Amino acid sequence: MPSANLPAIMPGQAIDFGHLSDETAICLSGAGREYRMTARDVIKWVAPAAPVSEAVKLLVVAQNVNLNPMLKEIELLEIKGTWHIYVRKQGLIKVAQRFPEYDGHETGVVVQIKDLSQPPIDIAGAITPRGFLLQGGWAKVYRKGWSRPVYKRCALQNYAKDKGIWVDNPAVMIEKVAFAQALRESFPIGEVYDESELPGVEREIALSIEDASTNHPANRNPVPSFFQMAPAPLLPVVQAPIVPEYTPPTATEPAVPVLPEPEAIDVEAAEVEPYKQPCTEEHRAKLAELVAKVGMNEATYNKVVLEKRGVQSAEQLTCEQAGELIRNLGEILEKKKGPPF
């Protein structure tokens, strides 16, 4: 409890960090009343293992964003010896709603058709449709006066765990990650995090951080390279004709000089083919699987499939070509007919 001899630090009052201690009371508000909390109160009721310095930091941040640790709106969590301040999704919304510029938000998940023949797409909500793989989450936060919303897209494999709530409801969790990141970039809410952003958090229990598994039960597939933008092709450089420099006229020359005709330069217009994204390892693995099921030998595959498309190996296929082949081979297996190549 705060000492009766020490006044509490009120909102808007200057804070002297050099004189903060475990007995310094900081005034917080919540549920229609005011609270005066010290670092000792935080250690007793919120984070028993936290050092005094981190408990004081939590109180300062809580007062700044007007959230109350006793109401579980903002909490202190230790992961591998490092302490993090984080809030829940509703706490982040509560903070954003205090800014007059806040103009709403949209959230959802990133999904991809299971045969990988199409790139991932954003859909609203936290539900993975039948026949699709969950690949990530997305969020848009709108701010008045800004022409475009803040847009964030997060890959599932960077946060998902093979245990706890990430297994029970991965779509909801990855949607919250994207929303928290977009909201934090839109408004000055400081270094506070939603609990779903910390990979080692499972229902408020601090666990050791492990590398995100690419064999996540949500889909058993890693996030494809569609999330990485391919480099654009380089355009050829064409040298422009050289125009002679202008020289001032002399007394015997006309006021307007007559420039000589520039030398003709034969420059052929460079034709740039539209860029086509190459296929991925997932495409090639799916093709190999379907070719084996159809029973096509290597010679036929090279001559009928690859040479017909002007390539010598599957690595040279484009994303569009690979998707077409996957669909054709799938139809062959379903109809049990010969290959229509």
From the number of C-beta atoms within 10 Å of its C-beta (0-12, 13-18, 19+), residue 324 rates as middle
Shared domain check, 172 and 131: yes
Shared domain check, 169 and 197: yes
The pLDDT, as a whole number, for residue 143 is 94
Phi-psi region of 80 (alpha: psi -120 to 50; beta: other; left: phi over 0): left
Shared domain check, 49 and 14: yes
State the average pLDDT over residues 97-123: 92
The closest of 36, 31, 35 to 8, measured between CA atoms, is: 36
The pLDDT, as a whole number, for residue 101 is 94
Higher-pLDDT residue of 295 and 170 is: 170
- Domain boundary, last residue among 13, 37, 71: 71
Which range has highest mean pLDDT (151-155, 185-189, 314-318, 333-337)? 151-155
The pLDDT, as a whole number, for residue 261 is 63
Shared domain check, 61 and 109: no
Does any domain span residue 78?
no
State the average pLDDT over residues 115-137: 92
Does any domain span residue 31?
yes
Tens of pLDDT, residues 206-237: 222 222 233 333 333 333 333 333 333 444 44
Return mean pLDDT, the chain. 73
The pLDDT, as a whole number, for residue 13 is 55
Reported as a pLDDT band with limits 50, 70 and 90, residue 251 is low
Tens of pLDDT, residues 297-331: 777 777 777 887 888 887 887 877 877 888 777 77
- CB neighbour burial string for 113-132, b if at least 16 within 10 angstroms, e if fewer: eebbbeebebeeebebeeeb
Q: Could you tell me if 43 and 52 are in contact, meaning their C-beta atoms sit under 8 angstroms apart?
A: yes
- Domain boundary, last residue among 206, 224, 251: 206
Number of domains in the chain: 3
Judged by average pLDDT, the poorest of 123-137, 186-200, 285-299 is: 186-200
Shared domain check, 177 and 118: yes
Does any domain span residue 257?
no
Higher-pLDDT residue of 145 and 219 is: 145
Contacts (Cβ under 8 Å, ≥6 apart) of 168: none
Judged by average pLDDT, the poorest of 34-43, 107-116, 270-279 is: 270-279
- Domain boundary, last residue among 161, 181, 206: 206
Domain that holds residue 185: 90-206
The pLDDT, as a whole number, for residue 120 is 93
Higher-pLDDT residue of 282 and 51 is: 51
Higher-pLDDT residue of 91 and 9 is: 91
**Read out DSSP for 52-101?**
HHHHHHHHHHHHHHT--GGGTSEEEEEETTEEEEEE-HHHHHHHHTTSTT
